[in-house]
Amino acid sequence: MARPLPTALMRRALRLPGALRKALYWGYEQRLARAVAEGGRVPKHLGMILDGNRRYARAMGVGRELGYEFGIDKAHEVLQWCLEVGVPAVTIWVLSTDNVKRDPDEVRHLMGLFDREARNLARDKRIHANRVRVRAIGQHHDFPVNVLEALSELEAATAHYDGMLLNIAVGYGGREEIVDAVRTYLRKADEDGLTLRDVADTLNAEHVSAHLYTAGTPDPDFIIRTSGEIRLSGFMLWQSVYSEFYFCDVYWPGFRRVDFLRALRDFQGRDRRFGK
């Protein structure tokens, strides 16, 4: 299996002329791609926390709006990589319930981007050619009507597909998801004529799992977070109990294919014991 370039070699590579440095990295990327292909095992469900758009923009000396645009372009690119390696299900976290409380102008800008990108995805030839089924998960009741319509149209346009499942976690929070799942279960139990004591005596983990936003999808076996933050921040709290984690220092818009391949190779080297 290919190994990372030695630190000394990496330092020397940074001093090489641009074309030569690019060729060196291209060669390393090809080695990683072969190693991942030979490793065989890819995540059945990959979770991705797309963090660092605003910090990337600051580092580049541009406005935060442009940082989000870079982040959208990167999301399209990374989803293509997922298709290429054959990941069956991907959940990307693009907006948390806490993010919705940010500066109103920033939130309005984000909602405009969601409207635009949902409509673009509904027409994207790659989505249809690869039969990608798209779902928007989270709490959307406070979203503008145009955004709700765009998300609904995207889901409807891909609902019949049987290729990769793409969950877009927008207006999402892990605690809120668990509360919503319990609330939904309690309402169903009430409709079935169960008393509160009946529910308390019989409630189990499967009841909650069956009412999560991701119900019917395997729990994520691998979660990647960019930007250097080493925490989940509420991402898929219930589902991630046995997930493997990978924290990458690079900001989301700067996430390269070589970073993606390194993460997958790292996953392939893990010994998953599921608490045993």
Is 173 annotated to bind a ligand? Reply is no
pLDDT at 74: 97
pLDDT at 32: 86
**Residue 82's closest CA among 45, 125, 118, 117?**
45
Is 64 annotated to bind a ligand? Reply is yes
Say which DSSP state 246 is in: E
Is 167 annotated to bind a ligand? Reply is no
pTM of the entire predicted model:
0.89
Token duo for residue 80: 């293509």
- Nearest-angstrom CA–CA distance, 264 and 216: 24
**Residue 137's closest CA among 22, 238, 33, 12?**
238
Sheet with 244-247, strands from edge to edge, namely 133-137, 165-172, 89-96, 45-49, 222-225, 244-247
Is 240 annotated to bind a ligand? Reply is no
H and E: helices and strands count for the chain: 11, 6
Per-residue pLDDT of the chain (276 residues; tens, 9 = 90+): 334 444 555 555 555 566 776 777 778 888 888 888 888 899 999 999 999 999 999 999 999 999 999 999 999 999 999 999 999 999 999 999 999 989 999 999 999 999 999 999 999 999 999 999 999 999 999 999 999 999 999 999 999 999 999 999 999 999 999 999 999 999 999 999 999 999 999 999 999 999 999 999 999 999 999 999 999 999 999 999 999 999 999 999 999 999 999 999 999 998 877 766
Q: Is 99 a catalytic residue?
A: yes
Is 270 annotated to bind a ligand? Reply is no
pLDDT at 12: 58
Q: Is 120 a catalytic residue?
A: no
Q: Which of 73, 99, 105, 115 is catalytic?
A: 99
